[in-house]
Amino acid sequence: MIESYLIALFLFVLFVLFFNYKEVKRSKIESSEDRKYILWTQIAILIGVLLRTIDLSVPSGIFVDEAISGYDSWCLAYYGVDQHLLSYPVYLKSWGTGQSAVYSYLGIPFIKLFGLSAPVYRLPMALVSCISLIFLYYTLRRTQQNTFLTFIIILLFIISPWHIMKSRWALDCNLSPDFVLIGVCLFVLGYYVYTQKIQKSLLYYLGGCLLFSLAAYSYGVSWFMLPFFVIFLFIFLYRKKRITILQTGTCLLLLLILLFPLILFAYNLLIAKGEAFTVGGITITSLVESRHNDTTILGSGYYLGYILRGISMLFTGDDGLPWNSIRYIGQFYNLLGMPFAIWALIRLIYTRKFSTWDLIFGLWLLSTLPIILIVRPNVNHWNLVWFPLMYFVGRGLSFCFEKVKKSGYALIGAACILTIVFAVKYIHLFGENAPLIGFPRNYDKLQEFSGNKNFDRIYYPDGTIYVIPMFYDPVSPYEFERTKSGVGGGITSYGKHYLYTPPEIQPISKTLYIVYSSDLDKYNIDLTEFQTQKINEFTLLWND
């Protein structure tokens, strides 16, 4: 049976095909060389969309941060509170140390329409990722005439292993870079229409401010970058005479209004350290502790070591976490790409021949310096760094190939080879038959089996994190709060679910024991007293 969420994906792909068709048709008035690059770009966009949306059950399983965010999204969809019974929190309490709430809110309509499952909950991330790249192309086409440069930049963004990987799992913080990218595109559109339509430019600037606000709500690390970027951007626009003082004040007022709940949250968390409170139905969350000690390197005593690790990650793309990046492939094939980015920056600074896009992405990259210097090296922590770096890799490639005939063919060939290498490695690491790496698997099958039985108690293997079974079989947040034992990530039971193996496994009526098959020998079990069934790496034991 075809899952219902695939209808939404099918409609989105139809929209992309229509967009491709319109762009190719519109290009007929241009030169044959330009038409060629526009056609290639449309093919790249379509392939990029398919890479990000086909079979969202891969990565196989569910990551714990996906699971807890998904359960909160389900609670908000049906009860208007999160798992901690907070009404519409500005920031999720989550494990107790917080998690951005934007993705959970974005997931609500999808859960209401299609139910809660890993592919459904990943769908918003895949769609936002695709839309950001399509909108980047749209903006490039309407604001600059070099179709070859547009092709290179879009191709690089499309084949980025980081962007493909982050598009395929619902990690809340990874919305932030796409929101910033769309916001940048809106500011660029406003910049270019200013001389003809001043009022329309203001609408673009206000739209950009809205997207920057969403980025701030999507990830706390963005707070180190966005204030600088916004200041640099408005100074740039004012010096170029593309924004008025009144427009600037209007934009800043909108930012203040949009960010006011987040400012209250940050004040309550970092300064007042008070209890949670509500403002107009929105909860200003109080956390058990902030994540800034785990995220930043301030006071760590290993500053030089972190700087060296950061430099290593920039060039290798590897942070040691396989679900974040693949060794020697990185975010944009860094070992191959970084020399082009460095060359582009040196050449642009030396010649001082900056385009508007060069200046804005340069300001973006400059604004990420606090992240690079303060935030612990991690692919997700540094997710706002990758887009501007990829842009300058594209600029470096354009400098290299702009006078070489048929260089587009070489780029396409290299892109195909690199993407195939990445795809093979990705499926090997995260496909259904891959070794377990960060994404606990088969709990959906366990819940399907237990749901067909009327068990009073279900025991899971030791170390099971409560949100994994909860994601596939969510319970009312009121029942969860009333029956749970433990706090934060240390929940040991809720309702009929027990997240440990009892000292003795006895044949008790309506009791299901789930153990790893490899651990059966650890327990003194008389299997003749049980009914048993194997589900992948698990053995299920029960006695009716």
For the chain, the domains span: 5-60+117-243+291-430, 443-542
Rounded Cα–Cα distance for residues 493 and 466 (Å): 8
Mean pLDDT of the chain: 92
> Tens of pLDDT along 373-410?
999 999 999 999 999 999 999 999 998 887 776 677 88
- Contact, 81 vs 87, CB < 8 A? yes
> At residue 270, does pLDDT exceed 90?
no
Percent of the chain scored above 90 by pLDDT? 73
299: confidence class by pLDDT, cuts 50, 70, 90: low
Asked whether residue 302 carries a pLDDT value surpassing 80, the answer given is: no
Cα 145 to Cα 375: distance, rounded to the nearest angstrom: 38
Distance, CA of 380 to CA of 321 (rounded, Å) = 10
Q: Cα–Cα distances in Å, from 504 out to 418, 450, 507, 508?
A: 52, 21, 10, 11
CB atoms within 10 A of CB 536: 12
Say how far apart CA 157 and CA 136 lie, in whole Å: 10
- In three-state secondary structure terms, 412 is helix
For the segment 350-377, the average pLDDT, to the nearest whole number, is 94
pLDDT of residue 1: 45
Question: CA 208 to CA 185: how far, in whole Å?
Answer: 8
| Beta bridge partners of residue 278, listed in sequence order | 283
pLDDT surpasses 70 at 59: yes
Angle subtended at Cα 178 by Cα 378 and Cα 167, rounded to the nearest 5 degrees: 70
> Model pTM?
0.95
- Rounded CA separation 507/517 (Å): 18
